[in-house]
Structure 1
Amino acid sequence: MRPRPNRPHRQSRTGNQSIWIFGRHAVLAALANPDRRIERVFATKEMADSHAAAIGKTAMTITSREDLNQRLPNGSVHQGIAALVAPLEEPGIEDILGRCGDNALVLALDQVSDPHNVGAILRSAAAFGAAGVIVTDRHTPSDTGTLAKSASGALEVVPLVRAVNLARTLDQLKEAGFWTYGLAESGDTKIGDLDLKGRTCIVLGAEGEGLRRLTADKCDRLVTIPTSNALSALNVSNAAAVAAYEWARQRPAV
């Protein structure tokens, strides 16, 4: 394995601009994250009283649900609490590799563009112990409110790496001992028939388009998740959850 130089964290694509995080789980996870700078919490009195210990000495404004509706993007499901925060610094692939033992899972997303899907995949990654999630630098949503809400706190605990060149990043993972499996309807092996012990990267394609050809060519094998004839394919976030569960099911007990 060739050594790679350490790279500093990149600044978030939102720069230094403050962002909104909303929803109970997302805000509480942000408050618990020492790497997240909280500028101010906005909460209804009921939510502020319920989570006084978590909010602690953080600057806070008691407000109404109607006021939050005005402050946040249209349609934000805030549950009576939101926070204005500084964006997290974006980690590099080395940050993921630093979390990996002999058995590790990384999920790589090839231009998955829906923030709800990316957030749900982060949530599955956290639930099943993945070391990180890789997304493409382009055609991928910023890690702002909707994604954080969908991730239900996972954005604060699972590294989200943005790869300028996904094919090159997959090569880096291979150099680090990962087997790369692309999920595709054309796959010749069922995921349940694979031996997923060791270092595993599951690669998932965009909504509708699936894996790009170059990305598929970089995978060691294309695999499928068998479904009934009534439905030929799963939503990408559902597929990620099934794949992450299968990896966790095979993981050796510690």
Structure 2
Amino acid sequence: MSKKTNVRNMLLRYQKERQKNVLAKPGEHQFLLVLDHLKPGFNVPKIFRSAEAFGAAGIHLVDIGPFDPAPAKGSFRKVPATFHDDFESCYQQLREDGYQLFRLAPDAEESLCNCQLPEKSAFILGHEEFGCSFEPAEFPAIRSLSIPQYGSVQSLNVSVASSVVMYEYVRQFQPES
């Protein structure tokens, strides 16, 4: 099969799954993920898969093109997706809906481990190479969080970082047994 045929098949799968996504229902938790200008390749569908596993309310995609939904293992049709052309529209919608936004950044002074998360939390994950598409100073209501790391690596893979932050949210909001 040619590369052109592979791309065309991926686009058809994406369009079909995106149509099914309109029927997706929020998970049992109120947190959201904001994927800000991520490369549409492998990480985006993996994040959908983890978001379904952790019961996310939804995922907001900012300026992310078509991606192959196959690695999501069906989760793209189960986790509600909201598409934005720019970060400003996403920010306005989430603030109007009462969400506290958190930007994950390896250089943030506040640690995820020391943060009491509000129930309506939205976690912003930026581009793997360039970070977020906005200047944090332009959005002072967004808090920056880091995930503690002890090795010489500067940052985690974005799909791994999303799983860590979702785990911490679920840990904090787990029902008492």
Aligned length: 170
Report the CA distance shift for 1:99/1:114 in structure 2 as closer, same or farther (over 3 A): closer
Q: SS where residue 247 of structure 1 aligns?
A: helix
Aligned to 1:158: 79
Contact 2:87 2:134 in 1 (8 A): no
Determine which of 164, 170, 174 is the counterpart of 1:248: 170
Contact 1:182 1:223 in 2 (8 A): yes
CA RMSD of aligned residues (A): 3.1
* Greater C-alpha radius of gyration: 1
Aligned to 2:16: 86
Give the unaligned 5+ runs of structure 1: 1-68, 77-82
For the pair 1:200 / 2:121, whether they are aligned, the reply is yes
CA drift at 1:100? 7.8
For the pair 1:238 / 2:168, whether they are aligned, the reply is no
CA drift at 1:212? 2.6
For the pair 1:120 / 2:46, whether they are aligned, the reply is yes
In 1, distance between residues paired with 2:107 and 2:88? Answer: 20
Report the CA distance shift for 1:253/1:142 in structure 2 as closer, same or farther (over 3 A): same
In 2, distance between residues paired with 1:91 and 1:165? Answer: 20
CA drift at 1:148? 1.1
For the pair 1:106 / 2:36, whether they are aligned, the reply is no
CA drift at 1:251? 1.2
Aligned to 1:227: 149
Contact 1:105 1:132 in 2 (8 A): yes
Q: Deviations over 1:192-245 (max 9, x none)?
A: 111124101000100111113336743521110111232121011111111111
In 2, distance between residues paired with 1:177 and 1:100? Answer: 18
TM-score (norm. length: structure 1): 0.58
Contact 1:110 1:205 in 2 (8 A): yes
More divergent stretch after superposition (113-122 vs 213-222): 213-222
TM-score (norm. length: structure 2): 0.81
CA drift at 1:167? 2.0
In 1, distance between residues paired with 2:56 and 2:14? Answer: 28
Report the CA distance shift for 1:159/1:190 in structure 2 as closer, same or farther (over 3 A): same
In 2, distance between residues paired with 1:241 and 1:174? Answer: 23
CA drift at 1:172? 1.6
